[in-house]
A and B are shown apart, each in its own frame.
Chain A
């Protein structure tokens, strides 16, 4: 399992695409079951929000995904570097994304962070 992270528009998708020739599943709109079998899954931070909106336990879902789809490449935006949101659902989402990211990173062989399109391996090796 590989986790690719970084802020919005830092080149995460382009980096994954340049190194791995699989179709990309979009966590912003895919079926939850589809996520569990996808090779590359992007927008995981949006999938977390959708899971919460659907009344699911996003952290439990993430654990299950890591076990059932251990070769997945997951792309997730870094979203926790701003002001703590005023609205409770936004706060909960932000915290849940952080926890889910930690779960995936713990399972991952590599964690790669992109800044301005440049990848740095913060765990394991680059693609």
Chain B
């Protein structure tokens, strides 16, 4: 009995050591990046201090850290709506793009009719579109979600159309010999083979959806990280402005990371013929 317990305790300890080893490994792997980042922050602090740059013009890292602590409540309450807008924009923009891509692949008429319109919408500067949407949908969440969605929409549409068409002719011949229906070809061949293309687009969309939400909040909004950026700028609260920008960047990185993790879990295969 005691033997069992001790061996269990030993495996527990082993696991802790393994975890430490893994953490150390990750740290060692990213050491150059970590060192470079820390170095740049130190350099920034030094430049601000050495040239006596006024805080409103460019705050030092210490000032920014202090602003985080001072404005934790404001940052938090303004971050939540931005997360919601970016997330919903991400979901709807990509969903519409995926469905449209499936339609395009099955109907060349639909592709010919709507692809140019999609390109035209993409060509409108998003900043120019924001006031129009605010006029139509008011000051709430809706125009921000739409703009975040529009920013995600185009890269996903283009990639998804390409991905759905990436199945090899031989694979389609195989499905024809098996008398497979179009629906079966879509589910068994086209959608799975489009996944690498889709995730390439989703990674772009993850970061740009945050940007879309923030840009939308610049136009007459009273909440969100975008509104906070405008307010902090006009009031010369530069440390708060920097803190907001850091949060926005972290938000985008986290979304990117989540998409990457899902991708790694979903796509374990490699294209045929590669080793």
Query: Do A and B truly interact?
Result: no
